[in-house]
Structure 1
Amino acid sequence: MPRKGLSFDQVLDAAAQLADREGLQNLTLARLASELHIKPPSLYNHIQSLEHLQDSLAARGMQMMIERTRQAAAGRSGKEALFAVAQTHREAAKEHPGLYTATQISVQKFSPESQKLASLYLSTILDVLQGYHLEEEKALHFIRIFRSILKGFMDLEVGGGFGMPLKLEETFELMLETLHSGMLQYSTVKG
């Protein structure tokens, strides 16, 4: 029987905070139980397994990214939308590194519900790229490129991997300008 007053959402909140603070890779059931001041077996009253917990964190992270992406892109298109959405991703990775990392788990490991959210998340990014008038297959390639360059940049930034005395904002903008220019080359609308 679940501990009185402890809900699945509270367990998930604690897991998200722990993952954000210490890294998703350091999230264990024993560590989470300690954080909640319960015995590890008691967690099974709320979750099925560590994989179930990670899937739930991925779903929460994707929901967060869907909402933030939609807000950032609202009323914008093309380059303006691209830059706003990229900045939103960067902010999310800094504010919630554990949740953001959870969204990067292989989609094959997701539950059907989380797979639907992953598809919706990708569709949201695809909507942002519509301003570039790309053929569908090219747009899908550019979603991969967009996510890859952002993840690489954010992993280096959050991990302290940028040591040169250059302004990160300039690097970030140059990276996005390069992506923007690349997508323009493949636009089906010329002129």
Structure 2
Amino acid sequence: MVRAGLTADRVTVAGAEVADEVGFDRVSMSRVARRLGVKDASLYAHVRSLEDLRGRIALLAADEKTIRIAEATAGLSGRDALVAFADAWRAYAHEHPGRYAATQAAIEIDPRLAADAPGPRRAVELTYGMLRGYRLSEPDLTDAVRLLRSTFHGFVALEAAGGFAHARTPQRSWERALDALHTLLEHWPTAREGDS
């Protein structure tokens, strides 16, 4: 029996909540069904498979993270935009570890769902928009995006795993890393000849 009001969106949100509680890699149809108080089979009226559910969680998380970053960076540029962007990214990862993991996982997402989801596309626009303040052009722009993503993700992943045992607080190291990124972006090295 399908519980009244059960929809693909409700199943996705329940899956995202389970991901935050137990980890994205441990989301299962059974756990989500228990959370919603239904039998596993009831979920299949709303999502096709566990992979479909995982894709939906990833898109939901991408939307949420993008909204958080957009709100944080509105009207800002340069260093202020970089710090607001990075802080919003890190805060989302801390508050929603399972959902955040979904945004970093390699998942096959239904192309029809992906086409209608603004989060991933808007995330790219926000990142490139923030970097325009540093007057970068291709291929440097792509390289800078990859550097930022690697730095932000690497930091929050190590932090979540307890990888910063030094007496210096991770917050101070985060602030200094952002200072260093800002300086690097302001003084981006000239591309080598033939680099494209």
Post-superposition offset of 1:97: 1.1
The answer to whether the Cα contact below 8 Å between 2:14 and 2:36 also exists between their aligned partners in 1 is yes
The answer to whether the Cα contact below 8 Å between 2:24 and 2:98 also exists between their aligned partners in 1 is yes
For 2:110, the aligned partner's letter is S
Post-superposition offset of 1:84: 0.7
Partner residue in 2 for 1:119 = 121
CA distance in 2, matches of 1:32, 1:152: 29
CA distance in 1, matches of 2:76, 2:44: 45
After superposition, give the CA deviation of every residue in 1:50-100 in whole Å (9 maximum; x if it has no partner).
111111111111111221111111111011100011000011001111111
Map 1:136-151 → 2, pairs under 5 A? 136-151=138-153
**Runs (5+) with no aligned partner, structure 1:** none
Q: Report sequence identity in percent.
A: 35
The answer to whether the Cα contact below 8 Å between 2:2 and 2:38 also exists between their aligned partners in 1 is no
The answer to whether the Cα contact below 8 Å between 2:77 and 2:130 also exists between their aligned partners in 1 is yes
For 1:134, the aligned partner's letter is L
Q: Does 1:92 align with 2:83?
A: no
**Runs (5+) with no aligned partner, structure 2:** 191-196
For 2:54, the aligned partner's letter is Q
Post-superposition offset of 1:110: 2.7
CA distance in 2, matches of 1:176, 1:150: 9
- RMSD in angstroms over aligned alpha carbons? 1.9
Post-superposition offset of 1:154: 0.7
Post-superposition offset of 1:146: 0.7
Partner residue in 1 for 2:182 = 180
CA distance in 1, matches of 2:32, 2:137: 45
Q: Does 1:64 align with 2:64?
A: yes
Give the match's secondary structure for 1:41: helix
The answer to whether the Cα contact below 8 Å between 1:69 and 1:125 also exists between their aligned partners in 2 is no
CA distance in 2, matches of 1:61, 1:152: 18
The answer to whether the Cα contact below 8 Å between 1:58 and 1:114 also exists between their aligned partners in 2 is no
Q: How many residues align?
A: 187
The answer to whether the Cα contact below 8 Å between 1:132 and 1:187 also exists between their aligned partners in 2 is no
TM-score by length of 1: 0.90
CA distance in 2, matches of 1:176, 1:65: 19
Please identify runs of 4+ aligned residues in structure 1 that moved more than 3 A: none
More helix by share: 1
After superposition, give the CA deviation of every residue in 1:107-142 in whole Å (9 maximum; x if it has no partner).
7x2333426642321121111111000013211111
The answer to whether the Cα contact below 8 Å between 2:33 and 2:40 also exists between their aligned partners in 1 is yes
Partner residue in 1 for 2:15 = 15
After superposition, give the CA deviation of every residue in 1:3-48 in whole Å (9 maximum; x if it has no partner).
3232222211211111011110110112212222222122101111
Q: Does 1:53 align with 2:53?
A: yes
